[in-house]
Amino acid sequence: MPVLSIIACGMLEDELVHVLSRDCGIRQLIVVENRNSSGFLRKLRSGNHIPRTVSLDRVPMLLNSGFNPDFNSISKVLVKFPFLGKVYKKIESKKIRSKAVKKVDVVVNLLRLGLHADLELLKSEVYKNIREMAAFSDGILIFYGTCGHVLGDLEKDFIDIECPLFFLKDRDGETVEDCISAALGGNDAYARAMLEYRGKGTIYLTPMWASSWKSLEKESGSKDFNYRYLKNPGYCLAAKINTGIPYESDFYQNVQEFALTFGMKIIDIKGSAEIAEQSYLAAMEAIVRKP
């Protein structure tokens, strides 16, 4: 059974839930159990996905066990109960990949928020997990941008491993710079947004950034959400990026609180989940085609 592993930034949690919850070609979904995964698991379960959780060192054992949840058998039980039957039909209606598609096992390793505050630590963590997960994977999707270009040489640095790496790429085939670029639709879209608001200090907020800024400031001291840094009057705009992904219900309130805290005006920018969707599908198709 093909195995696609995903090493993901916590800031792209919503995008990852979005693509996984719409994929009917997953045989089993395994989430590496760590302190970063609780919110991710809650969102997956709210979308009727029931992943298996296990520590990273036990993933190979789970993959080799041959576990195969027979969802069709489960459905025969569910439809006997009106409410559960409706839930099942709702799940079925959301599926986007054909049942004829070859099934794939997916392993998700969500790394902690705020690693980008120390780029060398970020690089070390991503590289370490690639080495470990390559041993049981047919491919690894890096659900990160280049993050200050610290992850820009992954293909070159891992040319010695047989496991192919896949990346979040825009329509021009360029790996996105970061999670903001991914949410806006690519590097060119990011550049256009910055050009439009040139001369006005702008902080770009996705739902995950907006819900996490307080904890990030406390835990990592990152300048992205450092009070002294953001109280600079040069920063005057809080850009609310609407990707259409609904998992953070308090998005507006979180942005509003952020803007009030730092004396900024809220502006709305249209985003999308297109890069996450297309990059995930490209990785899946490559895994399925692999001999």
Average pLDDT, consecutive stretches of 10 residues, N- to C-terminus, the chain (291 residues): 96 96 93 91 86 95 71 44 50 47 91 86 96 97 94 94 96 94 96 87 93 74 62 86 92 95 94 97 94 73
Residues 57 and 71 in one domain: no
Residues 100 and 36 in one domain: yes
pTM of the model: 0.86
Residues 56 and 131 in one domain: yes
Q: How many CB atoms lie within 10 A of CB 103?
A: 15
Q: Is 163 exposed, middle or buried (0-12, 13-18, 19+ CB in 10 A)?
A: middle
And the tokens for 101?
């598609």
Residues 101 and 20 in one domain: yes
Please report the pLDDT score of residue 259 as a whole number.
Answer: 94
Please report the pLDDT score of residue 101 as a whole number.
Answer: 66
Residues 107 and 145 in one domain: yes
Query: Is the CB of residue 8 less than 8 Å from the CB of residue 108?
Result: yes
Sign of CA dihedral 200, 201, 207, 210: negative
Looking at residue 16, which CATH number applies to its domain?
Answer: 3.40.50.1860
Residues 22 and 87 in one domain: no
Bridge partners for 247 per DSSP: none
Please report the pLDDT score of residue 81 as a whole number.
Answer: 54
Query: Is the CB of residue 241 less than 8 Å from the CB of residue 206?
Result: yes
DSSP symbol at 198: T
Residues 198 and 166 in one domain: no
**Whole-angstrom Cα distance, residue 275 to residue 24?**
19
Residues 31 and 51 in one domain: yes
Residues 111 and 213 in one domain: no
Residues 58 and 72 in one domain: no
Please report the pLDDT score of residue 270 as a whole number.
Answer: 95
Phi–psi pair at 107, nearest 5 degrees? -115, 125
Please report the pLDDT score of residue 241 as a whole number.
Answer: 97
Query: Amino acid identity, residue 103?
Result: K
Strand spans (E) along the chain: 3-9, 26-32, 52-54, 104-111, 139-143, 165-167, 201-205, 235-242, 265-270
**Whole-angstrom Cα distance, residue 237 to residue 224?**
14
The gap between the terminal CA atoms of the chain, to the nearest Å, is 11
Residues 71 and 123 in one domain: no
Domain holding 228, by residue range, is: 184-270
Query: Is the CB of residue 201 less than 8 Å from the CB of residue 232?
Result: yes
Number of domains in the chain: 3
Residues 18 and 46 in one domain: yes
Last residue of a domain, one of 57, 77, 93: 93
